[in-house]
């Protein structure tokens, strides 16, 4: 009996089984209720930056950012910021209270005293100091310090 075809078959099956566990998908974990959730936000180099850009001003200590599918910048400090945009990237300075109601949005803030997230699939990343109050009411959100890529 010629063993070459059998060895080739076993080698191919072993290679297939080895590669079956490989995936380009982000790391996830399974929660007690059986749902999978990502374990970390995407790195900055992997985030798609929208072509449309917008600048927003803080008026009377307040700003609302509702420009979906945009990269939005609010320069300087602002007491209260509400981000209702979806699929956006938002750059903020110092904020007292940041509320994120949109979805699939990355918000990078210098500092914030309070962060409230009620949307889903958001990354809220601070650059300087962890907010004193974090209230994540949504799903699959990350609120953490900006990672070094």
Confidence band (pLDDT; 50, 70, 90) for 9? low
Q: Is position 87 within any domain?
A: yes
Distance, in Å, from the CA atom of 60 to the CA atom of 146, rounded to the nearest integer, reads 28
- CA torsion 47→68→117→30, rounded to 10°? -50
31 C-beta neighbours (distance < 10 Å), count: 9
Q: Is position 23 within any domain?
A: no
Q: Is position 5 within any domain?
A: no
Q: Is position 84 within any domain?
A: yes
Encoded tokens for 103: 């979805």
112 against 26, higher pLDDT: 112
- In this prediction, residue 30 carries a pLDDT of 59
Q: Model's pTM, two decimal places? A: 0.72
Q: Is position 43 within any domain?
A: no
Q: Is position 82 within any domain?
A: yes
Q: Is position 26 within any domain?
A: no
Number of domains in the chain: 1
Boundaries of domain holding 60: 50-145
φ, ψ for residue 18, nearest 5 deg:
-65, -45
Q: Is position 115 within any domain?
A: yes
**Is a pLDDT exceeding 60 seen at residue 55?**
yes
């Amino acid at each position: 009996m010629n063993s070459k075809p059998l060895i080739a078959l076993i080698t191919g099956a072993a290679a297939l089984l080895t590669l079956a566990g490989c995936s380009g998908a982000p790391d996830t974990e399974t929660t007690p209720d059986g749902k999978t959730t990502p374990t970390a936000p995407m790195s900055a180099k992997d985030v798609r930056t929208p072509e449309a850009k917008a600048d927003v001003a803080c008026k009377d200590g307040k700003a609302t950012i509702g420009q979906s599918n945009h990269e939005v910048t609010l320069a300087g400090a602002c007491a209260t910021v509400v981000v209702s945009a979806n699929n956006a990237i938002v750059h903020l300075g110092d904020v007292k209270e940041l509320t994120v109601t949109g979805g699939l949005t990355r918000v990078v803030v210098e500092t914030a005293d309070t962060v409230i997230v009620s949307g889903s699939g958001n990354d809220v990343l601070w650059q300087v100091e962890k907010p004193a109050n974090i209230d994540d009411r949504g799903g699959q959100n990350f609120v953490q310090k900006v990672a070094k890529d």
